[in-house]
Chains A and B, each alone.
Chain A
Amino acid sequence: MALSRPRRPSPPPPALMLDELVEEILLRLPPDEPAYLVHAALVCKPWRRILSDAGFRRRYIELHRSPPLLGYIHTNLTTCSPRFISTSTMASLPFSPLTTINSWRVLDCRHGRVLIKNYDQLGLIVWDPTTGHQHHLNMINYVYRYFEIGAVLCAVDGCDHLDCHGGPFRVVSVGMDVDAGPYGTEDGVVRVTLYSSETCEWSNRSYINIHPYNLEVQRPSLLIGDALYFPLEYGFSVLKYDLNTHALSIVDSPPVFGAVVTTAEDGGLGFISMLGDSIYTWSLLCATAEIGIEWEKAQQFVMELGTLLPSDPYRPSRIVCSVEGTDTIFINLGSTRSLTEPLPEQSHHLLPSAHASPCRPLQPCRSRCVKHSSQRCYRFTASLSEELPPHVVLPHSVSPYTPASGCTLACCIAQRRRPEHSPPERSLPAMT
Chain B
Amino acid sequence: MAAPESGDGNNGAARMVTLISSDNTRFEVEAAAASLSQTLQLTILDGGGGGGDGIPLPNVDSATLSKVLEYCIKHAPAAANGGAPNATAVDRAELERFDNEFVNIDQSVLYSLIMAAHNLEIEGLQSLVAKKVADMIKGKSPMEIRRTLGFPDPTPEEQAEMNAHMLEYGWAYE
A residues sitting closer than 8 Å to B (CB atoms) are 1-6, 8-16, 18, 20-21, 24-30, 33, 36, 38-45, 90-94, 400, 402-405
Min Cβ gap B20→A in Å is: 22
- A contact residues around B127 at 8 Å (CB): 24, 28
Min Cβ gap A255→B in Å is: 35
Contact A44 B140 (CB under 8 A): no
- B contact residues around A13 at 8 Å (CB): 107-108, 111, 149-150
Say which residue of A43, A91, A92, A94 sits within 8 Å of B146 (CB atoms): A43
Residue B137 lies at the interface, judged by CB distance under 8 Å to chain A: yes
Min Cβ gap B109→A in Å is: 9
- B contact residues around A8 at 8 Å (CB): 152
Contact B138 A2 (CB under 8 A): no
Q: Given that A5-B147, A94-B169, A402-B168 are known contacts, is A21 also in contact with B152, CB under 8 Å in the complex?
A: no
Contact B169 A2 (CB under 8 A): no
CA distance A10 to B149 in the complex (A): 13
- B contact residues around A2 at 8 Å (CB): 106-108, 111, 149-150
Residue B2 lies at the interface, judged by CB distance under 8 Å to chain A: no
CB<8 Å pairs between A and B, sample of 22: A3-B150, A5-B150, A5-B153, A8-B152, A12-B149, A12-B150, A18-B115, A24-B126, A36-B137, A39-B140, A39-B141, A39-B142, A39-B145, A40-B145, A42-B162, A44-B158, A91-B171, A92-B170, A94-B170, A404-B161, A405-B164, A405-B165
Contact B165 A404 (CB under 8 A): yes
Contact A43 B152 (CB under 8 A): no
Residue B15 lies at the interface, judged by CB distance under 8 Å to chain A: no
Contact B134 A25 (CB under 8 A): yes
Contact B153 A15 (CB under 8 A): no
Mark each residue of chain B from 129 to 167: 1 if its CB lies under 8 Å from any CB of chain A, else 0: 011011101111110011111111111001001101110
- A contact residues around B135 at 8 Å (CB): 28
- B contact residues around A39 at 8 Å (CB): 140-142, 145
- B contact residues around A91 at 8 Å (CB): 169-172
Most chain-A CB neighbours within 10 Å: which of B134, B141, B155? Answer: B134
Q: Given that A29-B137, A38-B169, A40-B137 are known contacts, is A12 also in contact with B151, CB under 8 Å in the complex?
A: yes
CA distance A404 to B154 in the complex (A): 18
Most chain-A CB neighbours within 10 Å: which of B138, B145, B169? Answer: B169
Residue B26 lies at the interface, judged by CB distance under 8 Å to chain A: no
- B contact residues around A402 at 8 Å (CB): 165, 168
Say which residue of A4, A16, A30 sits within 8 Å of B138 (CB atoms): A30
Q: Given that A40-B137, A404-B164 are known contacts, is A9 also in contact with B150, CB under 8 Å in the complex?
A: no
Q: Which residue of the partner chain A has the closest CB to B134? A: A28
Say which residue of B111, B146, B158, B172 sits within 8 Å of A15 (CB atoms): B111
CA distance A11 to B137 in the complex (A): 18
- B contact residues around A15 at 8 Å (CB): 111-112, 114-115
Min Cβ gap A371→B in Å is: 10
Q: Which of B82-111 contact A (CB under 8 A)?
A: 106-108, 111
Contact A9 B152 (CB under 8 A): yes
Min Cβ gap B156→A in Å is: 11
Min Cβ gap B22→A in Å is: 14
With A2-B108, A18-B115, A43-B146 given, can you name 13 additional A-B contacts, CB distance below 8 Å?
A14-B115, A24-B130, A27-B134, A28-B127, A29-B138, A33-B139, A40-B145, A42-B162, A42-B166, A43-B142, A44-B151, A91-B171, A91-B172
Min Cβ gap B140→A in Å is: 7
Contact A6 B142 (CB under 8 A): no
- B contact residues around A14 at 8 Å (CB): 111, 115
- A contact residues around B172 at 8 Å (CB): 91
Min Cβ gap B99→A in Å is: 13
Contact A43 B145 (CB under 8 A): yes
Contact B155 A25 (CB under 8 A): no
- A contact residues around B131 at 8 Å (CB): 28
Q: Which residue of the partner chain B has the closest CB to A4? A: B150
Say which residue of A5, A29, A41, A93 sits within 8 Å of B134 (CB atoms): A29
Q: Which of B5-63 contact A (CB under 8 A)?
A: none
Say which residue of A4, A16, A33, A400 sits within 8 Å of B111 (CB atoms): A16
- B contact residues around A403 at 8 Å (CB): 168
Contact A18 B149 (CB under 8 A): no
Q: Given that A9-B155, A14-B115, A91-B169 are known contacts, is A42 also in contact with B142, CB under 8 Å in the complex?
A: yes
Min Cβ gap A14→B in Å is: 7
CA distance A2 to B169 in the complex (A): 30
Contact A12 B152 (CB under 8 A): yes
- B contact residues around A93 at 8 Å (CB): 169
Contact A18 B118 (CB under 8 A): yes
CA distance A26 to B58 in the complex (A): 28
- A contact residues around B146 at 8 Å (CB): 43-44
Contact A3 B148 (CB under 8 A): yes
Return the 5 tightest CB-CB contacts between A and B, nearest first: A2-B150, A28-B134, A15-B111, A42-B142, A2-B107
